[in-house]
Amino acid sequence: MLDHQGWKARAAGLRFRHQAFIDGRFTDAVSGKTFDSINPATGAVLAQVAECDAADVDRAVTAARRAFDDGRWWRKPPAERKAVLLKLADLIRENLQELALLDSLDMGKLVRDAATIDAPGSAHFFQWYAEAIDKLYDEVAPTGPGDLALVRRVPLGVVGAVVPWNFPLDMATWKSAAALAAGNSVVLKPAEQSPLSALRLAELAAEAGLPDGVLNVVPGFGATAGRALGLHMDVDCLAFTGSTATGKRFMEYSGQSNLKQVWPETGGKSPNIVFADCQDLDAAADMAAFGIFFNQGEVCSANSRLYVQDSIREAFLEKLAQRAAAMQPGDPLDPESKMGAIVDERQTQGIMRFVEAGKATARLVTGGNRVTMEGKGCFVQPTIFADVTQDDPLARDEIFGPVLSVIGFQTEDQAVAMANDSIYGLAASVWTDDLSRACRVAERLHVGTVSVNTVDALSAQTPFGGMKQSGFGRDLSLHSLDKYTALKTVWIKYRT
């Protein structure tokens, strides 16, 4: 791991890819327009990135369709496709520092986290799906003599992927690795706040041997490029991670166009329930802090609602306040920093509106201020509110920042009822040393993932996604391949 000066020196020497990547080459937007990619820690412009719109999306979809129709990718033997994606995983590891810096500079996350979690995770997920390619079997249905019924799993065609800014490289990987492994072509639209790592990923994919047109990247804005992708008549599937409102919009686009499949993974307001029978409250406090302050709280499954049994609530709050005090924001390029910058000015102001309103409705335990580094940047202190009511916006709305709402409870039934009292159902955590309670509560929580005695557990082997208005898409695991394939029955009559 580089030190602070080492990361700064490495950042100074970066070359940013700023054009769209369509049909195997970098290209300007048809309109010639660009937008600024801004470092939220300093306000500096990193690059002027091609501003793609409907014309560019159409070029990318046309290239993706052509690549799919001629079979240059999906008709390759499984071993050859596997080798390409394994090579891409290796290239991500070889360029790990660069990719970590791109995400850190682009959206403000700690370079330490990007280098030890995000970029290695991206390589791991490409490797995992590559290794799955030649281990997926079709089926033979039971029939009578003279009939052979094959159930084939086939790629859909052109997959549009619209990904958020909080984990730019990882989210691009979660969508594209599975879609490519299934044999599809992909048109990827990264968030306008964080396009740089997706563009570099496409370049590395080409270097790994992915044929032209199979992976295309169109940076741009949601209202133009995102909308065009959602409405395009030749996109077969749209995979999306982002806000609930935008997820609903993509489903409307599907109905207005070609009835394309839409797989939304949307908002969250995840509860974390700490029972008094939890024997290791220090571990629970460590993970409760991590669950809301990691990545500046810009995590869809962040444990932003903390329910603590009344008998231990004040003692637990004291532990949390100590941990928050030790997690103050700093330069994202300094490995010693505990929190980075908020992605942009708009998001920072939105977080602070929640904080200022919360000061009038709840008890501010710690934090609550916007800060700067040498007079610059979008930084918010880790903030904890206590005595929050269940109907307070602090407890109901997705803030997407380092703001924790603490609510007390007396009984298990009360905790479960409050935890489920949300339009979201992405994730939840439960802390208890009672195995029966852990199983009982996990069963009753209406969420996609329940983490017991930890927070936000995930792996390549397990599906990630939610219920209710957190959407019904699923990333990771073999189950995610269901999103990017269709079942085709081939029925053969033969002479007996």
Residue 1 scores a pLDDT above 90: no
- Model confidence at 380, pLDDT cuts 50, 70, 90, reads very high
Question: Does some domain include residue 276?
Answer: yes
Looking at the fold, whether 309 and 366 belong to one and the same domain comes out as yes
Rounded to 5°, angle at Cα 188 from 55 and 47: 80
Asked if residue 460 is part of any domain, the answer here is: no
Please check whether residue 495 lies inside any domain of the structure: no
**144 and 197 in a common domain:** yes
**Number of Cβ atoms within 10 Å of the Cβ of 420:** 15
Q: How confident is the model at residue 483, as a pLDDT?
A: 95
Domain match, 403 and 328 both: yes
Cβ atoms within 10 Å, residue 12: 7
Determine, yes or no, domain membership for 458.
no
Q: Looking at the domain assignment, is residue 241 inside a domain?
A: yes
Assign 257 a pLDDT band (cuts: 50, 70, 90): very high
C-alpha–C-alpha distance, residues 463 and 454, integer Å:
17
230 and 97 co-located in one domain: yes
Q: Is the domain of 165 the same as that of 251?
A: yes
Q: Residue 97: pLDDT above 90? A: yes
Domain contains 494:
no
pLDDT at 355 over 90: yes
Distance CA 22, CA 57 (A): 9
What pLDDT shows up at residue 364? Answer: 98
Are both 207 and 64 inside the same structural domain?
A: yes
What is the domain count for the chain? 2
Asked if residue 281 has pLDDT above 90, the reply is: yes
| Model confidence at 395: pLDDT above 90 | yes
Q: Catalytic: 300?
A: yes
The CATH number of whichever domain residue 152 belongs to comes to: 3.40.605.10
d(CA 370, CA 245) in angstroms, rounded, equals 27
Q: Are residues 246 and 275 in the same domain?
A: no
> Taking Cα atoms as reference points, which of 131, 145, 50 lies closest to residue 83?
131
52, 237, 300, 378: the active-site residue:
300
Same domain assignment for residues 156 and 194 = yes
Closest CA to 330 of 288, 296, 367: 296
**What's the domain range around 258?**
4-266+471-488
Query: What would the two tokens of residue 480 be?
Result: 């995610």
Position 496 in a domain:
no
pLDDT computed for residue 477 by the predictor: 97
Confidence of residue 321 (pLDDT cuts 50, 70, 90): very high
Q: How far is CA 202 from CA 32, 183, 187, 396, in A?
A: 21, 16, 10, 38
Strand partners, 48: 36
Segment (H or E) for 111? helix 111-113
What local confidence, expressed as pLDDT, does residue 158 receive? 98
Whether residues 254 and 275 fall in one domain: no
pLDDT score, position 105: 98
The span from the CA of 70 to the CA of 358, in Å, is: 57
pLDDT tens track for 408-465? 999 999 999 999 999 999 999 999 999 999 999 999 999 999 999 999 999 999 999 9
Instruction: Look at the alpha carbons of 448, 451, 457, 459 in this order and tell me if their dihedral is positive or negative.
Output: negative
Any catalytic annotation for residue 378? Answer: no
Is 462 a member of any domain?
Answer: no
Distance of CA 446 to the CA centre of its chain: 20
Q: What is the mean pLDDT of the chain?
A: 98
Greatest Cα pair distance in the chain: 83
Q: Which of 303, 308, 329 is nearest to 319 (CA)?
A: 308
Task: Tell me the average pLDDT across 100-105.
Answer: 98
What the block records as the tokens of 196 is 């740089």
Residue 272 burial by CB count (10 A; 0-12/13-18/19+): exposed, middle or buried?
Answer: buried
Same domain, 296 and 195: no
DSSP string, 197-224: HHHHHHHHHHHHTPPTTSEEE--B-III
Same domain, 69 and 147: yes
H/E segment holding residue 131: helix 119-132
Q: What's the CATH code of the domain at 431? A: 3.40.309.10
Domain shared by 241 and 365, yes or no: no
The one catalytic residue among 192, 265, 298, 398: 265
